[in-house]
């Protein structure tokens, strides 16, 4: 089959790790007789340098005309003093809103071979964990009315939190569908004991629950969820939550896997079109040294095959190869004292595909 992929390498380690994911994509192309047409576009700091604009219109158009997007990471100290609105990170917000990428899917898996890297005591992670956090990405307090008011010489900042039933329903449905494909267990996280927004969230989720009687559904307050993630992460399978709570909980979940360089993510729209990227940033401290872990980006390419290109067998082949390499004991610098380089790690992964 033939697919069009828009590729944004980005800044810092972005180009190094995306190049490795491309090697994996080429191997899949060859082995499974597909054609992946790659279109390279600029976004972030490199786009500011080349065009003055963090997200050139041409990039958005190329992404729109593709089946999916693979992105490395954007940002770095060089662009930290750019005016807000044209900072590298605005490229991500722009792509999410231009392409209506409302569903952020973040798996957090603790690989057996890496259990020593987990910062939680062994007794709490017995049996490991394998969860997915489904975070709403285009609403909530991040996109509500915001501003400052002055009164009596005192400045007050405000950001309005809101969710419509419609917004909750589309992310909720995505989460229920995900649960149906996994172990049919879904936990919805809110703060319904305090927030009206959360009460609308919870009522909407309960209406959806009736449509998915096979799914074992539960509600959890966000403060308890934050605690349960470090107390007993194995209890979770799929978690669904809003933009703000999801931002915090998904970082917490990735931290407890012990390896920021290992975790992929997807941001999807209603039709399954998506942008795939590692959860980490551009790691300027190690850029150009050839030691970045390419696995998060390689697993992002696997997620792309599974969710946007409908190639589950190919996705399995990549994920199994990563597992085998870790089981064999190969490590990059972030996860091992004795380590191999970025491209050597990819060589090992390719050898198992
Ligand atoms: P970071 O994730 O880039 O780095 C945090 C730490 O993790 C660093 O020590 C880094 O060396 C290490 N690390 C990250 N990825 C790694 C990998 N693949 N292999 C080995 N080690 C890895 O976060 P930061 O330092 O807070 O941010 C750096 C820049 O990235 C900033 O400009 C920030 O705005 C940007 N950022 C971009 C994205 C994105 O593009 N989606 C996300 C987060 C941060």
Q: Tell me the pLDDT of the chain (353 aa) as tens digits.
A: 999 999 999 999 999 999 999 999 999 999 999 999 999 999 999 999 999 999 999 999 999 999 999 999 999 999 999 987 899 999 998 999 899 999 999 999 988 788 877 888 888 888 788 999 999 998 999 889 989 999 999 999 999 999 999 999 999 999 999 999 899 999 999 999 999 999 999 999 999 999 999 999 999 999 999 999 999 999 999 999 999 999 999 989 988 887 789 999 999 999 989 999 999 999 999 999 999 999 999 999 999 999 999 999 999 999 999 999 999 999 999 988 899 999 999 999 999 99
Which of 18, 86, 260, 333 has the most ligand 1 atoms within 8 A of CB, as the residue to mutate? Answer: 260
Which of the following is catalytic: 140, 191, 276, 307?
191
Nearest residue to 162 via CA among 205, 207, 196, 204: 196
Which of the following is catalytic: 142, 221, 339, 352?
142
CATH class of 1-104+262-353: alpha beta
CATH topology of domain 119-256: Isopropylmalate Dehydrogenase (3.40.718)
251 flagged as catalytic: yes
140 flagged as catalytic: no
CB neighbours (10 Å) of residue 323?
16
- Does 133 sit in the ligand 1 pocket, CB within 6 Å? no
Beta bridge partners of 188: 219, 240
E strand map for 46-199 = 68-73, 103-109, 130-136, 146-151, 154-159, 185-190
Q: Indicate which atom in ligand 1 lies nearest the CA of residue 77.
A: 32
Which of the following is catalytic: 159, 223, 316, 327?
223
Every domain of the chain with CATH number 3.40.718.10 lies at 1-104+262-353, 119-256
């Amino acid at each position: 089959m033939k697919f069009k992929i828009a590729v944004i390498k980005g800044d810092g380690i972005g180009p190094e790790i995306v190049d490795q994911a491309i090697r994996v994509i080429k191997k899949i192309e060859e082995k499974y007789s597909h054609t992946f047409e790659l279109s390279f576009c600029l976004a972030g700091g490199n786009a500011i340098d080349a065009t003055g604009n963090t997200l050139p219109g041409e990039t958005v158009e190329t992404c729109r005309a593709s089946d999916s997007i693979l992105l490395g990471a954007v940002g770095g100290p060089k662009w930290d003093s750019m005016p807000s609105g044209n900072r590298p990170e605005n490229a991500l917000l722009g792509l999410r809103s231009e392409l209506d990428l409302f569903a952020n899917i973040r798996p957090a898996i603790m690989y057996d071979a890496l259990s020593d890297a987990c910062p939680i005591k062994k007794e709490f992670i017995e049996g490991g964990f394998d969860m997915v956090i489904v975070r709403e990405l285009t609403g909530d307090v991040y996109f509500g009315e915001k501003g400052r008011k002055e009164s009596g010489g005192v400045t007050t900042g405000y950001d309005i939190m809101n969710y419509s039933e419609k917004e909750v329903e589309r992310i909720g449905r995505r989460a229920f569908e995900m649960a149906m494909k996994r172990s049919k267990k879904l936990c919805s996280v809110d703060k319904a004991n305090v927030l009206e927004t959360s009460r609308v969230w919870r009522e909407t989720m309960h209406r959806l629950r009736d449509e998915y009687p096979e799914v074992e559904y539960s509600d959890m307050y966000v403060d308890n969820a934050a605690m349960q993630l470090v107390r007993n992460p194995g209890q979770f399978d799929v978690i669904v939550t809003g933009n703000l709570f999801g931002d915090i909980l998904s970082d917490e979940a990735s931290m407890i896997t012990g390896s920021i360089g290992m975790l992929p993510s997807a941001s999807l729209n209603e039709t399954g079109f998506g942008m795939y990227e590692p959860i980490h940033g551009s790691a300027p401290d190690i850029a150009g040294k050839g030691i970045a872990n390419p696995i998060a980006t390689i697993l992002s390419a696997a997620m792309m095959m599974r969710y946007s290109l409908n190639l589950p067998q190919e996705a399995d082949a990549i994920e199994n190869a990563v597992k085998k390499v870790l089981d064999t004991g190969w490590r990059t610098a972030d996860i091992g004292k004795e380590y191999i380089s970025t491209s050597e790690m990819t060589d090992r992964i390719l050898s198992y595909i």
